[in-house]
Amino acid sequence: MDFELTEEQRMFQETARQFAGKEIAPIAEKVDELAEFPRETIRKLGELGFMGVAVPQDYGGAGADSVCYALALEEVSRACASHGVIMSVNNSLYCDPLVKFGTQEQKRRLLVPVASGKHMGCFCLSEPNAGSDAANQETTARREEDCYVLNGSKNFITNGSEADYAIVFATVNKDLKHRGICAFVVERGTPGFAVAHLEKKLGIRGSSCAQLTFENCRVPAENLLAKEGEGFRIALATLDGGRIGIAAQAVGIARAALEASLDYAKQRVQFGKPIAANQAIQFMLADMAMEIDAARLLTLNAALLKDRGLRHTKESSMAKLYASEVAMRAGIKGVQIFGGYGYMMDYPAQRFMRDAKITEIYEGTSEVQRMVIANALLS
């Protein structure tokens, strides 16, 4: 049992920390305020290899492990959660399933451009009527000669308006329920594929969240991942990894809230002493720090299992569930410690709280994570 980071892991963490501190943190407030997609810094993250951390170098990635990925993502999210989710979706939800389920040819064609950070990927599972109940896909795929024709609408797609490549889930036969679902890679510019609507959000405002529509969108059959009917299995396996990413993002947000609170509590003087001298404040800080460490350990535990090729469904859910709820609590405590200033947009505490909320919802709500964990315990 060894809790020390390897040289490579330490290097990833350090590189991410430095880049995030220098380039991301200074623009985080503006990115949030203007709800502006941070193209330039995302491009630079790509150059650093952070858009395909765990993708083999042969396919344009950095060839590192999931631990490196989680550590880097924590650092990026600590500076700006919007950058964090953009990075997480690209890595976990687009690159990862291509690495695992793509053919050589698909990897060369569809993975390399995204893992290298030159282009962006997204993951289209949610629909207006398929949220937690993801198997209830209404988007259809009809085989026609060497194509599949897609019809339907996808909701809440992170990176949706920016992505050049989209993994899209659709059913070839609704009667088959989850066994009818397929996963396709759809390229931007394919006729019939359009961005219909951009959402305005409570937090992670620098990331894009789009509704995508498919109207008789003809996707070449060679863009089908694995086989017909395997889409749901691909989605679940992908989310096992994606949840590690969101857990890491949540740890980063929680840390940002704690660090800002620590600084503030030491400086803010009331009743003739820094508010940090009050046990009421100290206990909030201690709980935040303890929970952050617990959340990080759960996250790395899941990442280590993934790296060893072991089943990690339960552990990923535990990490995501716990870390997201920790981030939310830390966000709320952060605002409380800042008092009135915490409510003001001039201070970052409110942003951490707004950004934290989504981590309890996307890539499986807390309720879905508890279902996954309970199923594992009871099976």
Partner 1 sequence: MDFELTDAQRLIRDTVREFADKELAPLAAELDRLKRYPEKPLQRLAELGVLGMTMPPEYGGAGADTVSSCLALMEISRACASTGVTVSLHNTLTCEIIYRHGTEGQRRRYLPALCRGQILGAFSLTEPTSGSDAASLRTTAIRRGEHYFLNGTKLFVTNGSRAGAIILFASTDLSRGDKGITAFLVEPSFSGFRVGKREEKMGLRASDTAELVLENCQVPVENRIGEEGEGFKVALSSLVTGRAGIAAQAVGIAQACLVASVRYAKERRQFGQPIAEFQAIQWKLANMATEIEAARLLTLRAAAQKDRGLPCTMEASMAKLFASEAANRAAADAVQIHGGYGYIQDFPVERYMRDARVLTIYEGTSEIHRLIVARQLLSPSPLPSPHSWGEGKGEGPQGGPEEGMGAWCVRDGGDL
- Positions marked active-site: 363
Decide: is 293 part of the binding site for partner 1 (CB under 8 A): yes
Q: Closest Cα to residue 238, out of 296, 163, 297, 185?
A: 185
- Region near partner 1 per CB under 8 A, out of 27-35, 42-50, 299-307, 347-355: 299-307
Residue 162 burial (10 A CB sphere; 0-12, 13-18, 19+): buried
Q: Which is nearer to partner 1, 35 or 277 (CB)?
A: 277
- Region near partner 1 per CB under 8 A, out of 26-34, 136-144, 161-169, 286-294: 286-294
E strands along 265-312, which residues? 269-270, 273-274
Q: Which is nearer to partner 1, 42 or 73 (CB)?
A: 73
194, 236, 289, 361: which one binds partner 1 (CB under 8 A)? 289
Q: Which of residues 31-70 bind partner 1 (CB under 8 A)?
A: 67
| Cβ-based neighbour number of residue 229 at 10 Å | 16
Decide: is 349 part of the binding site for partner 1 (CB under 8 A): no
Contact 211, 160 (CB under 8 A): yes
300, 328, 330, 358: which one binds partner 1 (CB under 8 A)? 300
198, 202, 286, 344: which one binds partner 1 (CB under 8 A)? 286
Rounded to whole angstroms, the Cα distance separating 299 from 252 reads: 11
147, 194, 236, 277: which one binds partner 1 (CB under 8 A)? 277
Q: Which is nearer to partner 1, 164 or 287 (CB)?
A: 287
Angle at 321 between CA 84 and CA 366, to 5 degrees: 105
Q: Which is nearer to partner 1, 198 or 290 (CB)?
A: 290
* 136-139 LR contacts (CB < 8 Å, sep 24+): 137/169, 137/170, 137/171, 137/174, 137/181, 138/171, 138/174, 139/168, 139/169, 139/170, 139/171, 139/214
Q: What contacts 238, CB < 8 A, 6 or more positions away?
A: 92, 93, 96, 97, 100, 123
> Tokens 């599949």 identify what position?
148
Q: Which is nearer to partner 1, 205 or 320 (CB)?
A: 320
39, 177, 273, 311: which one binds partner 1 (CB under 8 A)? 273
In eight-state DSSP terms, residue 337 is H
135, 226, 294, 361: which one binds partner 1 (CB under 8 A)? 294
The contact set with partner 1 (CB under 8 A) reads 1-6, 9-10, 13-14, 67, 71, 255, 259, 262, 265-266, 273, 276-279, 282-283, 285-287, 289-298, 300-301, 304, 308, 314-315, 318, 321-322, 369-371, 373-374, 377-378
